[in-house]
Amino acid sequence: MLLVLCCMLPVGCCAAQPPWPFLPTTYNNCTLKTLLTAEELSAGVDRLAAEIAAHYRHEPLTIVGILTGSIVLLADVIRRIDLPIKVGLIQASSYRGTATEPGELLLNLEKLPDVTDRHVLLLDDIFDTGRTLAEVVDRIRDRGARSVRSAVLLRKQGRQQVALEPEHVVFCIPDAFVVGYGLDYADAYRNLPFVAALEEGDL
């Protein structure tokens, strides 16, 4: 079952959410509209970790974080899961520099451990077009994983270009360029403890 953990509804129900309550703030002279507070993110990660633990039920698991946006989420999730786990990393990039639209997807799997006959959970910061996650799922399956599932912190509405759906979605968000909690713009903002939308004039 596909879950939107923030509201416990199927992913398709995201579009039915009421208008998002933007909370304006400033950072480095840029205007940010806060979508998710640190407290909301923490509660969402708690729910995600519980879902992961319930699904695998103490089965050995390899959690693979898709760099660089997932680093904060990965660190928070693995500290909440009481499972026998291994951790791997994949470098994936389709946004470079100040680009706000995805370009050519570049993948580096050098830091990926052996996943042969392992249950693998891919962890990513955001499901935008879905091209990155779909490609990584295929690559992991080609390496002999027993199963491959995916979990994303954010699912952006109205952007999907692939048939793949993540098994776990923590929050659905509007179609906006977001930063914070590991997500960046030109390698800035990753350290923010909340998720916010950048004003178009600051992009």
Pick the closest to residue 171 from 120, 123, 122, 127 (CA basis).
127
DSSP label at residue 112: P
**Residue 179: other Cβ atoms inside 10 A:** 24
Examine the residue annotation and report whether 184 is marked as an active-site residue of this protein. Answer: no
Q: For the purposes of burial, counting CB atoms within 10 Å of the CB of 64, is it exposed (0-12), middle (13-18) or buried (19 or more)?
A: buried
Quote the CA–CA distance of 16 and 68 in Å, as a whole number: 31
Quote the CA–CA distance of 93 and 146 in Å, as a whole number: 26
Count of helix runs (H) and strand runs (E) in the chain: 3, 11
The catalytic position among 128, 138, 175, 184 is 128
Contact 156, 126 (CB under 8 A): yes
Query: What token pair was written down for 16?
Result: 């039915």
* Catalytic annotation, residues: 128
